[in-house]
Structure 1
Amino acid sequence: MSKNLVLQTDFGLNDGAVSAMYGVAISVDPAIRIFNLTHEIPKFNRWEASYRLYQTITYWPEDTVFVSVVDPGVGTDRLSIVVKTTDNQYIVTPDNGTLTHIKKHIGIVDAREIDEKVNRLPRSGESYTFHGRDVYAYTGARLAANVISFEEVGPRIDVEAVIGLPKPEAHIEEGVIKGNIDILDIQFGNLWTNIGRELFHEKGIEYGETLEVTISNGTHQLYKNSMTFGRSFAESRLGEPLLYVNSVDKLGVAINQGSFAKAYQIGTGANWKIDVHRVEE
């Protein structure tokens, strides 16, 4: 197993929490290479944690160990687990929905509950509020450093029982492509939908066509307008909206050199819906 350890949390970098996780991992094995996926997941947002893992994990080599800690249920009876993916990577996390996209789109072949009698930072047994340091970073480092095998994490649990969050699927209904706003391209304010490029192929939609886009939160419509389906931002004028294919082969919605999310106060998740269809339909 490699010694790559990739950390994701909602802790931010304003205090010593992430540094403490680094220290625990390096104390297990100074040769471990530690990387940050992100520590800016919005507080308690398990959906975004799930998506960021999905967005990133396939670009890392086999045997990489990921630790994801977005844990509003810390100290409760929720399980602490490690899963092995179909691509032979490992994710150490609370079993709280953080693995939704991995389970659906990549696949989990085995899952283990962390045995805290063995895989817990020594002398931390009375602490119930920092499992990211005491359980997850410690177990992830031991796994990455080959101090323990995957089987030594703890008892096997049913892969099918790994918790998932509600995840609607994009589809075509009466000629309209219907999907959800999965996530934001935060730096630029673009919307990343769950609409795969193949649905546009199924409808025969070509680059350059004008499409009508409607965005709603539940039953409340926030946006309705026509925009061009373009290959790149260069095909639209400054300030114009456009549809494009993003880096995970899904449909994105953007304003050229502007923030679509900020302009229209758009959020993400199962309640945020997007409809796309040809203007003449």
Structure 2
Amino acid sequence: MRKQHVVLQTDFGLSDGAVSAMNGVALSVDSSLGVYNLTHEIPQHNIWEGSYRLFQTVNYWPEGTVFVSVVDPGVGTDRLSVVVKTANNQYIVTPDNGTLTHIKESVGIVEARVIDEQVNRLPNSGESYTFHGRDVYAYTGARLAAGVISYEQVGPSYEVDKLVALPLTKASYEDDVVTGNIDILDVRFGNLWTNIARDIFKEIGISYGDALEVTIENNRRHIYKNIIKFGRSFADSRLGEPILFVNSLDKIGVAINQGSFAKAYHIETGSNWKISIRKAKGIHYN
């Protein structure tokens, strides 16, 4: 029988026993489960980043994988706990608070169910209302992955269109200018990851070696403006120079060769962080 996978994501960090407890609950359901970490370093309460990291990862796991994502500032409130089935036949166990935004938009969600906590809750945990990651999500996810319950036994069906979604802005192109958002950081290296797909550059004839005028704004306040080369890799720029590149999700990124672009210019992420790109006329790098 093929080993089933449970993948955990939280904003808990690893400095205490919370994540270990979730692992233990999953393995207590079925010790043959493969329990893995996506990340536990989501900034505290940052639902947007939790949503993006799922999008960054989900497509690279086998069908049937169960993801448990717990970024839950509303724990103990009336927010719903759900399990969704993606278009690629995977499952995500999570609070319904916006964590599914990128999956719904980019992967597709075909079905949703509300967790019935009368059935799918760790035994003897009924008086605990602050650790649903252990008592509800890890327990339900493990039971689903192990085949202890079917998807239908998670709980009642829920309309996909009613799932909470965060505002998403699509990249656009008008009057020779590509406009998008800075969606996330490549945290360790300080690179900016935008929502501008490589296909947009192809459509408008931007090629490797082109010099591009890049402007970054936060709430319409100019933060950065410069001419940057569009390169295939960091080898196309000198040490300390900025470069535009295609990241691992086929989106346009902005970096400094062996430096942190985000730290250098104090750049953050989210709907208020806009980037615009246009060809710098008369300049092309070999």
TM-score between the two structures when normalised by the length of structure 1: 0.99
After superposition, where does 1:21-170 map in structure 2 within 5 Å?
21-170=22-171
Task: Find the residue that maps to 2:126 and give its secondary structure.
Answer: coil
CA distance in 2, matches of 1:2, 1:139: 17
Task: Find the residue that maps to 1:144 and give its secondary structure.
Answer: helix
Q: Give the aligned residue type for 2:30.
A: D
CA distance in 2, matches of 1:22, 1:209: 48
Q: Which runs of 5+ in 1 are unaligned?
A: none
CA distance in 2, matches of 1:272, 1:148: 43
After superposition, where does 1:211-222 map in structure 2 within 5 Å?
211-222=212-223
After superposition, where does 1:269-280 map in structure 2 within 5 Å?
269-280=270-281
Q: Give the aligned residue type for 1:104.
A: E
Kindly tell me the number of residue pairs found equivalent between the two proteins: 281
**Structure 2 residue 8 is matched with structure 1 residue 7:** yes
RMSD: 1.0
CA drift at 1:215: 0.6
Q: Give the aligned residue type for 1:228.
A: K
After superposition, where does 1:243-258 map in structure 2 within 5 Å?
243-258=244-259
Does structure 1 retain, via aligned residues, the 8 Å contact 2:3–2:32? no
Task: Find the residue that maps to 1:178 and give its secondary structure.
Answer: strand
What percent identity do the matched residue pairs reach? 69
State the match for 1:194 in structure 2.
Answer: 195
State the match for 1:226 in structure 2.
Answer: 227
Q: Give the aligned residue type for 2:233.
A: S
Runs of 4 or more above 4 Å deviation: none
Q: Give the aligned residue type for 1:154.
A: G
Q: Give the aligned residue type for 1:185.
A: D
Q: Which runs of 5+ in 2 are unaligned?
A: none
CA drift at 1:187: 1.2
Does structure 2 retain, via aligned residues, the 8 Å contact 1:48–1:183? yes
CA drift at 1:220: 1.4
CA distance in 2, matches of 1:223, 1:154: 49
CA drift at 1:213: 0.4
CA distance in 1, matches of 2:180, 2:99: 21
CA distance in 2, matches of 1:252, 1:2: 36
CA distance in 1, matches of 2:229, 2:191: 15
Task: Find the residue that maps to 2:20 and give its secondary structure.
Answer: helix
CA drift at 1:2: 5.1
CA drift at 1:280: 2.7
CA distance in 2, matches of 1:51, 1:145: 27
CA drift at 1:173: 2.0
CA distance in 2, matches of 1:280, 1:79: 52
